[in-house]
Amino acid sequence: MVHARQSEGCAMEFFDRVHDDHRAFIAKQPVFFVATAAEGTRINCSPKGMDSFRILDDATVAYLDLGGSGNETQAHLAADGRITIMFCAFDNPALILRIYGRGRAVLPQDEGFAPLAAHFDLLPGTRQIFVIDVDSLQTSCGWGVPRMTIENERRTLVKYHAQQKPEAYLATMATRTQSIDGLPVRPQTEVVA
């Protein structure tokens, strides 16, 4: 199903599943943005990269998440479930693609992690995989997004995690049991990469 709305030449369309042209566009993008929230919390928006996004089927997507400074996405999804993922072209043709859905975290210790992990090249610091059931997709013109070129992928986070001993990494993860707004977070208990 496609719904289109046009405003002064800039068309917006809604889709109920991932189409082949969406797959091709997503595959070309070096970065995507993830937004979540739960009642009474701050809205979280995080940039992601490192070839960490996968389309599992036309109604399911997933991304690999590495340990970082916080775990707001996991906390928000456990409390609310809603998630928006945005891709935008920084080259031509201009386009913005948003995926609206409901997500969940699958940690290395969870049943079902191994089959999901097979879709990714696991990286040092792999903390969880977020699986998103797609409610809808929206495309829009993206004419307001600047044209930029990517110089290279930052490897700092992967290098940082690669230098850590698994016991020290898990000890750190064990202390991260709350979001910045006090929502519960399930800590990782197994190291996979």
Q: What is the DSSP string of 27-82?
A: HH-S-EEEEE--TTS--EEEEE-TT-EEEEETTEEEEEEE--S--HHHHHHHHT-E
Task: Report helix, strand and coil shares of the chain as percent, to nearest 5.
Answer: 20, 35, 45
pTM for this model (two decimals): 0.93
Per-residue pLDDT tens digits of the chain, which is 193 residues long: 565 555 556 789 999 999 999 999 999 999 999 999 999 999 999 999 999 999 999 999 999 999 987 899 999 999 999 999 999 999 999 999 999 999 999 999 999 999 999 999 999 999 999 999 999 999 999 999 999 998 988 889 999 999 999 999 999 999 999 999 999 999 999 999 7
**Structural contact between residues 84 and 99, judged by C-beta atoms closer than 8 angstroms:** yes
